[in-house]
Structures are given as structure tokens and as C-alpha cells.
Amino acid sequence: MNQSALIQDDKEQFQRELEKTDNLLQQYQAEVSQLKDDKKQLKIQLQKIEETARLDQTPTLEEFVSQLEKGTNVVIVASYAIKAIKMSQKKLEQIRFKYSALGAEKFVDSKRKWWVIQLGGFYSKESANILVEKAINELGFPKEGPSKPYIIDIKRTTHRQTEPVFGEAGSQVVIVRTYKSYQEKQAQQEVEKLNDRYPDIEAKKYKKDEKWLVYIGNSSSLKSAEVLKSWAHEHIANDAYVSKK
């Protein structure tokens, strides 16, 4: 065999080895790609398992509440001006609906004359702090700003009332205007004027003892009505008074 033939044989042999190597490389690349896909799917499955395990270990809100220690501290998550009755009530109902297991109440800060919304019940300082952390980290309440949840001690505080007035249930109203029996039109005009100026106070009228009485707010407890009366003295009529409807 001459030199040229030997070179040709060597060339063909190297070409066959190169093709074989290319085929192996393609095979390995396909296997690596499949392994990467398998790894990705395994990670997804692992994350699902870990999340399921975490949820299984995370107590429900009912279980969470049952573990809180009772006390005199409350967690405040919203505040409204005393005339913003409708807005504060709407917020209260939203929180009650969304976190029914925790519950929420609304009471009057008689010193500052505003409504505050309380998340949950009355807890020890430690449990109240735990609830604040949960409210921020898990329930979506803001971490910063004026709406950030905070704690007050109903028993010890001096600038807040010591007996919260919950909700608005009661039979007391705040009378701001009085008209004679034949002045229904004037009474209605006053109702409309007040509602235009202060849309959240829900002014209404009713007839009693041959008089038309214009009142603000819904029927409420005596303490709530007294606070609303103080606001009415400043903004509507200095002779506003509380009366049982």
C-alpha cells in the first residue's frame, strides 16, 4: 500500500471516529437536557410538597386565635373621624367578612373623638404583638404609614377611654334641628343640606310629639351618641342634644 492510500485510510478512520464522537455528544446533550428538565420538575414537586407541609403545620385562624392569651391590649388597624360613620362601618364589615375567625369591633376614642377599629379581642401584650406581626406579615395590613396596626392597653392608657363603645347598636340619636309639625318641607331641606355637606353623618328626620326632629348618625349607644353630640356642637349646632328615638 502506497503512502497516499495509507493517508486516505487514516483520514477515513478519523472521520468515522469524529462522527462517532459527534453522535455520542448529541446523545449526551439530549440526556443532559432531559436531566435538566427532570431536575426542574423535581424541584417543582419538592416545592409543592414543602408548601403542603408548611400549610399543614400552619394553624388556621381559629387555631391561632385559640392560642392567644387574654388580656387588656387591643390591636387597632384603622381610624376614622367621628363624622365618618358610614366609612368606618364599611371598613368594619369588610374586616369582619375577610377575617371572620378573628373578628373585629369598632369603638369611640372619646378623647380624640374618632372611631377606631379593633382586630380580634383583648389580649396580653405578648399575644397582641404576635397578632400585629401576623396582621402585617400574613394578612396584608400595611407595615408602615398611618394605617400600620398598633397596640393600645385599654386598662392602663390615660388618653383613651377605658370602656370601649362597640359598634353602633342602641336607641340614642343626636338631634340637631327641631321643626314644627307643619314644617316637614323645611325639615327635609335641612336633612338634604346636612347630607350634602357631611355625607357620612347620615342625617334623617322623624316626627315626635307633633314636631319634626332632624338627627344625625344611626341609633347608637349613649356613649357613642355623646361623642357624636360633641362633634355636632362644633360643626352643626351648639344646642344639639342626645335623645332616645
What's the confidence (pLDDT) of residue 55? 62
What's the confidence (pLDDT) of residue 83? 76
CA 83 to CA 66: how far, in whole Å?
35
Instruction: For cell 322623624, name the residue.
Output: 206
CA 228 to CA 119: how far, in whole Å?
23
Of 58, 74, 101, the one marking the end of a domain is: 58
Say whether both 146 and 74 belong to one domain. yes
Greater pLDDT, 149 or 222: 149
Highest mean pLDDT among 95-99, 158-162, 195-199, 214-218: 95-99
> What is the number of structural domains in the chain?
3
Say whether both 74 and 144 belong to one domain. yes
Say whether both 69 and 147 belong to one domain. yes
Say whether both 94 and 128 belong to one domain. yes
Of 40, 58, 76, the one marking the end of a domain is: 58
Which pLDDT band holds residue 190 (cuts at 50, 70, 90)? very high
pTM, full prediction? 0.49
Evaluate whether 216 touches 241 at the Cβ level (below 8 Å): no
Greater pLDDT, 11 or 142: 142
Greater pLDDT, 111 or 84: 84
Q: What percent of the chain has pLDDT over 90?
A: 27
Say whether both 147 and 67 belong to one domain. yes
The enclosing domain of 126 has a CATH number of: 3.30.70.1070
What's the confidence (pLDDT) of residue 163? 37
Q: What percent of the chain has pLDDT over 70?
A: 86
Outline where DSSP puts E strands in the chain.
70-81, 104-109, 114-123, 150-153, 172-180, 204-208, 211-220, 241-244
SS (HEC) of 99-113: CCCCCEEEEEECCCC
What's the confidence (pLDDT) of residue 155? 62
Domain assignment of residue 158, yes or no: no
Say whether both 87 and 126 belong to one domain. yes
Range of the domain at 202: 172-244
CA-to-CA dists, residue 242 to 161, 166, 190, angstroms? 20, 18, 18
- Grid coordinates representing 136 are 402585617
Across the beta sheet with 104-109, the strand order is 104-109, 114-123, 70-81, 150-153
Of 34, 58, 82, the one marking the end of a domain is: 58
